[in-house]
Amino acid sequence: MKALVTGGGGFLGSAIVRMLRERGDEVVVVARGDYPQLASLGASLVRADITDLPALTGAADGCDVVFHAAAKAGVWGSHESYYKPNVVGTEMLIAACLATRVPKLVFTGSPSVVFDGRDQANGTSALPYAHPPSSHYSGTKAASERLVLKANSKPLATVSLRPHLIYGPGDPHLVPRVIDRASKGRLALVGDGTNRVSLTFIDNAAAAHVQAADRLSFNATCAGRAYFINDPEPVVFGEWLTTLVARLGLPPIKRRLSIPTAAAIGGALEFVWKAFGLSGEPPLTRSVALNLGISHWYSIEEAVRDFGFAPPVKAEDGFERTVEWFRPRVPRAS
């Protein structure tokens, strides 16, 4: 099989590339930078912007499947900064797939498209899109997912996967933020710490994409549908966070904030950042505060049923691998 992976230099994209190459598939990567580690795996690299239709068309030519993992993530920035890569980029990629007769497109979606600030327990694909969206990221991911699912047709079978809070060795987002804040004494538990949250070990997220691609066809049950992807059981977030900090040898979490207080602080910081045009993300936003304090966990039963999703790594093993990788990289006080 020949596969194109957009965003192959990212955390999830590179894991998909690795998994495909390990089983002998030919892989082409579209990314904006140079990634020698991907070349060392035997992948071909096309350096291009995700909105560059000619480059995408050239890269997709002759491919059996496209994995679209490229996106601008985060919770802060202008609408335009998210719209162009996430929505226009997806439009261009669909056009490239149709022009080159690629038969399958696996899209990396996001559970944030349904997050409305309220508890979500054992959520399924029946959950509606949040209105209004919680951020420009979630709004543009919802728009791009709609484009992908609408494009499902006999020439191009499509599916969207929504991995939730991906972590693992090399994680550039979740665990590093915990380490940074804990090492500075700024990490706080929001709420009573008993909220349940779905996490996804990196290998399980990548495996879901490969497994979905293998099953996908226009007549497949999964065609034209969106699926939540995560480890089978949610964690009690306060316990998971406390254990992670302890295992990494970081100072224990002493600060606690109620959900209303955290949300109010996040809203105030958003106002200050917008009013004064401050650079970077605020240390807390209302959306992040709610995500830290309430339950949001999702069922994978539909993915198991429709395309045979089988997470290859148990959650406890994934946690251990993550701790082992990050522990020697935690900065220590001199």
Which positions are catalytic?
Answer: 137
Question: By the 8 A CB rule, do 107 and 148 touch?
Answer: yes
In the chain the first and final C-alpha atoms are separated, in Å, by 51
What distance in Å separates the CA atoms of residue 317 and residue 276, rounded to the nearest whole number? 45
Cα separations in angstroms, 145 against 31, 151, 189, 267: 20, 10, 32, 28
Q: Which of 132, 125, 189 is nearest to 160 (CA)?
A: 125
Encoded tokens for 172: 């550039």
SS in 3 state form for 182-195? HHCCCCEEECCCCC
Gyration radius of the chain over CA positions: 20
Residue 180 backbone dihedrals phi, psi, to 5 degrees: -60, -45
Q: Please identify which residue in the block is written with the tokens 């071909």.
A: 44
SS in 3 state form for 123-178? ECCCCCCCCCCCCHHHHHHHHHHHHHHHCCCCCCEEEEEEECCEECCCCCCHHHHH
